[in-house]
């Protein structure tokens, strides 16, 4: 399965599993972007990332953490 920037929920689940010690509220977008790009199965153009996309992933991650 390949993940894209639009797969906010799936990306958030992957991040929660990879970084269980991290409070998603405190994550800088630069780190968030790098961590997403490092996910196995992520296959999208890095240039298509925007602040809105990162906010969506972060919000899903916050929901997953609750």
Residue 65 pLDDT: 87
Q: Average the pLDDT over 52-66 and give the result.
A: 95
- What is the torsion angle, in degrees rounded to the nearest 10, for the CA atoms of residue 41, residue 47, residue 51 and residue 55? -10
Average pLDDT on 29-34 reads: 97
Average pLDDT over residues 25-41: 97
Q: What is the pLDDT of residue 17?
A: 95
Q: Give the confidence band of 1 by pLDDT, cuts at 50, 70, 90.
A: confident
d(C-alpha 6, C-alpha 21), whole Å: 25
Q: Is residue 37 part of a domain?
A: yes
* Number of domains present in the structure of the chain: 1
CATH number of the domain encompassing residue 51: 1.10.10.600
pTM of the model: 0.94
Confirm whether 1 is domain-assigned. no
Please check whether residue 36 lies inside any domain of the structure.
Answer: yes
Output the pLDDT for position 66.
84
User: Considering the domain boundaries, does residue 3 fall inside one?
Assistant: no
């Amino acid at each position: 399965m390949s993940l894209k920037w639009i797969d906010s929920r799936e990306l958030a689940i992957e991040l929660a599993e990879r970084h269980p010690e991290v409070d998603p509220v405190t994550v800088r977008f630069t780190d968030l972007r790098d961590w997403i790009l490092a996910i196995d199965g992520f296959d999208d153009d890095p240039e298509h990332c925007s602040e809105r996309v990162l906010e969506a992933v972060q919000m899903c991650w916050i929901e997953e953490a609750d």
